[in-house]
């Protein structure tokens, strides 16, 4: 089943960081591992993968584990995120997508 989750953070949010997003996932555990910057089908979007407590960039499907990228404007402490189920998605094809995100530009 595909659910919509509102993910919010309440740590020290600064300029050029995300404070929340709505994602489609099958569980809260999967939801917190979706970076709010990800846009399916946009070739110019940076993609991040969560691994060993940090977010890493993904290049051509390969995770660059050589260095972390300052979490890409998101928190590195995904266990501190508040996750709330806000509904059911249209279908499984939506899994892994960011529906919307809130970015604090500065």
Mean pLDDT of 56-79: 80
Reply yes or no on whether the pLDDT at 66 is more than 60: yes
Q: What is the dihedral angle through the alpha carbons of 22, 5, 87, 10, rounded to the nearest 10 degrees? A: -80
Q: What is the pLDDT of residue 44?
A: 56
According to DSSP, the β-strands at 54-59 and 47-51 are antiparallel
Q: What is the pLDDT of residue 65?
A: 77
Give yes or no for a contact between 55 and 71, defined as CB atoms under 8 angstroms apart. Answer: yes
Q: What is the pLDDT of residue 63?
A: 82
Give yes or no for a contact between 99 and 36, defined as CB atoms under 8 angstroms apart. Answer: no
**Burial per residue of 56-91, b for 16 or more beta-carbon CB atoms within 10 angstroms, e otherwise:** bbeeeeeeeeeebeebbbbbeebeebebeeeeebee
Give yes or no for a contact between 37 and 72, defined as CB atoms under 8 angstroms apart. Answer: yes
């Amino acid at each position: 089943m595909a659910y919509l989750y509102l993910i919010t953070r309440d740590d020290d949010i600064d300029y050029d960081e995300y404070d929340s997003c709505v994602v489609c996932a099958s569980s809260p555990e999967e939801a917190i591992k979706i970076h709010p910057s990800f846009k399916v089908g946009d070739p110019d979007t940076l993609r991040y993968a969560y691994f060993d407590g940090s977010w890493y960039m993904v290049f051509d499907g390969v995770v660059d584990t050589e260095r972390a990228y300052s979490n890409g404007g998101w928190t590195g402490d995904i266990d501190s995120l508040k996750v709330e189920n806000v509904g059911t998605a249209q279908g499984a094809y939506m899994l892994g997508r960011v529906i919307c995100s809130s970015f604090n530009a500065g």
